[in-house]
């Protein structure tokens, strides 16, 4: 991939020009390779930013050069532009907002402020991925919640909970059912099966199949193409089930963020790496999917208990 390099030097006495250049480069999301050396993707808007800064530096009696470069072998410049931590901070702000009738106006203002912050961040997210989709979904959900609070009589999408997730379901309708998903489950399927046994039906029977044709006809399918419960919008299946069954408790939502990261990437909670290593080890050592679920369930139980003690 082609890149642009800006090399500049300003007189130490010109603090105003130095600050102006720094602010422009920070606003553009330029990566700092070393003092006075900045990097951006070779895009038209990035080139315009570097050219503008270079002209201003020269006008302030400084030296500036803009040049195209390629990444040295073994160097991945893209990692310098990872905005996941910024998106995680933004999502954290969204999650701290409480939308209630008594503070509806504040919620609307907060939604507008966070939408503006998201747009500014997305504008310099040159390699957008799952983290951006998660943040956009969180801000959109806040906007919808604020709108429903300020205009309760306005119609919305029928049954919509956000991200295209259909309306709430009754737990009673899913008792004494057979559930089915693909065999050799990973994080999302394991978490869904654990959720079913812990919060929907403790006596639920879980069937693991290698081929869709082997799925029992009367089973409730989850986390495979065409299943009753699967990924919707920015949510993985576990998050969809939390929403549809009214189980979006703080501890379960934290677990959901970990499962999301392990399944599709994006914002990485601090616990994600450790949980991934544990689940991978269990999956490698337990060939029986039922035993794997029991072992993984212990991990999920421990995480939820810890989250409940320390919100």
pLDDT over 80 (residue 75) = no
Answer yes or no: is pLDDT of 157 > 50.
Answer: no
The pLDDT of 82-98, averaged and rounded, is 92
Contact 31, 5 (CB under 8 A): no
Domain regions of the chain by residue span: 2-79, 82-150, 171-309
Is residue 196 predicted with pLDDT exceeding 80? yes
Total residue count of the chain as it appears in this document: 311
End-to-end CA distance of the chain: 43
Is the pLDDT at 201 greater than 80? The verdict is: yes
- Euclidean distance between CA atoms 100 and 143, whole angstroms: 13
| Average pLDDT rounded to a whole number, residues 75-84 | 91
Query: What pTM was computed for the model?
Result: 0.71
Closest CA to 121 of 111, 110, 135, 107: 135
Instruction: Check pLDDT > 70 for residue 152.
Output: no
State the pLDDT at residue 213: 77
pLDDT average, residue stretch 237-263: 94
* pLDDT at 158 > cutoff 70: no
User: To the nearest whole percent, how much of the chain has pLDDT over 90?
Assistant: 73
Q: Confidence band (pLDDT; 50, 70, 90) for 22?
A: very high
Q: Does domain 2-79 have CATH number 3.10.450.350?
A: no
3-class secondary-structure state, position 264: helix
What is the pLDDT, as a whole number, of residue 311? 67
């Amino acid at each position: 991939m082609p890149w642009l390099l800006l090399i500049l030097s300003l007189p130490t006495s010109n603090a105003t020009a130095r600050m102006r250049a720094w602010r422009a480069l920070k606003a553009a999301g330029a990566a700092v390779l070393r003092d006075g050396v900045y990097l951006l993707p070779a895009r038209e808007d990035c080139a315009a930013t570097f050219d503008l800064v270079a002209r201003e530096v020269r006008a302030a009696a400084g030296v500036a050069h803009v040049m195209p470069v390629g990444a040295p072998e073994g160097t991945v410049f893209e990692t310098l532009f990872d905005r996941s931590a910024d998106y995680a901070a933004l999502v954290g702000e969204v999650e701290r907002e409480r939308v209630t009738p008594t503070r509806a106006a504040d919620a609307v203002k907060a939604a507008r402020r966070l939408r503006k912050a998201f747009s500014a961040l997305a504008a310099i997210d040159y390699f957008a991925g799952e983290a951006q989709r998660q943040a956009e979904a969180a801000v959109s959900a806040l906007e919808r919640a604020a709108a429903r609070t300020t205009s309760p009589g306005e119609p919305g999408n029928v049954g919509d909970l956000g991200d295209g997730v259909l309306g709430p379901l009754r737990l009673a309708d899913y008792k004494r059912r057979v559930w089915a998903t693909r065999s050799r489950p990973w994080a999302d399927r394991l978490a869904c099966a654990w959720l079913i046994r812990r919060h929907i039906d403790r006596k639920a029977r879980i069937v693991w199949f290698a081929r869709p044709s082997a799925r029992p006809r009367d089973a409730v399918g989850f986390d495979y193409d065409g299943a009753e419960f699967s990924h919707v919008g920015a949510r993985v299946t576990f998050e969809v089930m939390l929403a549809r069954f009214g189980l979006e408790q703080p501890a379960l939502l934290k677990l959901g963020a970990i499962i999301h990261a392990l399944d599709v990437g994006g914002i990485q909670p601090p616990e994600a790496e450790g949980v991934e290593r544990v689940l991978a080890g269990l999956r490698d050592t337990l060939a029986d999917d039922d035993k794997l679920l029991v072992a993984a369930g212990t991990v999920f139980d421990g995480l939820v208990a810890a989250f409940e003690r320390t919100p």
